[in-house]
């Protein structure tokens, strides 16, 4: 008998439950995809952070995996902001607010922006 690599419950003779693995993979795609949309959303950064963390928890996403997904999301958010020509200062400030919500410093945002090709 094995414990599921995701939820930790017994998975019989398998290493994981198919549904757990699927939920985990879906969350890792869903979380970064939220970020560019957050630029024009009215949701407070804290609400956005809570939502992302809630999805991560319910899909057995580990802290390290979440951090990578957030970094990917911040890249997409910066890309979206760089493409837009009509952003308000408040929308630009949102990038830093959202980054801070996930404990990414302003320097991290600068670094990610510098990595854009
Ligand atoms: Zn499971």
For ligand 1, the distance from its centroid to the CA atom of residue 69, given in whole angstroms, is 21
Give per-residue burial for 7-40: e unless 16+ CB within 10 Å, then b. Answer: beeebeeeebbeebbebbeebbeebbebbbebbe
Report the range of poorest mean pLDDT among 27-41, 43-57, 61-75, 76-90. Answer: 76-90
DSSP state, residue 116? -
Rounded to whole angstroms, the Cα distance separating 98 from 35 reads 9
The pair of three-digit structure tokens given for residue 15, joined into one six-digit string: 């290493």
Rounded to whole angstroms, the Cα distance separating 5 from 3 reads 6
For ligand 1, the distance from its centroid to the CA atom of residue 72, given in whole angstroms, is 26
- Model confidence at 108: pLDDT above 80: yes
**pLDDT tens digits, one per residue of 71-82:** 999 999 999 999
For ligand 1, the distance from its centroid to the CA atom of residue 88, given in whole angstroms, is 44
């Amino acid at each position: 008998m094995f414990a599921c690599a995701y939820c930790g419950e017994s998975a019989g003779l398998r290493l994981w439950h198919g549904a757990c693995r699927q939920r985990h993979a879906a969350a890792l795609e869903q979380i970064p995809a939220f970020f560019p949309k957050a630029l024009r959303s009215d949701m407070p950064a804290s609400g956005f952070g809570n939502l992302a963390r809630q999805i991560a928890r319910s899909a057995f996403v580990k802290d390290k995996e979440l951090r990578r997904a957030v970094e990917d999301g911040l890249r997409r958010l910066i890309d979206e902001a760089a493409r837009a020509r009509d952003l308000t200062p408040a929308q630009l400030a949102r990038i830093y607010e959202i980054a801070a919500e996930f404990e990414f410093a302003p320097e991290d945002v600068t670094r990610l922006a510098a990595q854009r090709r």
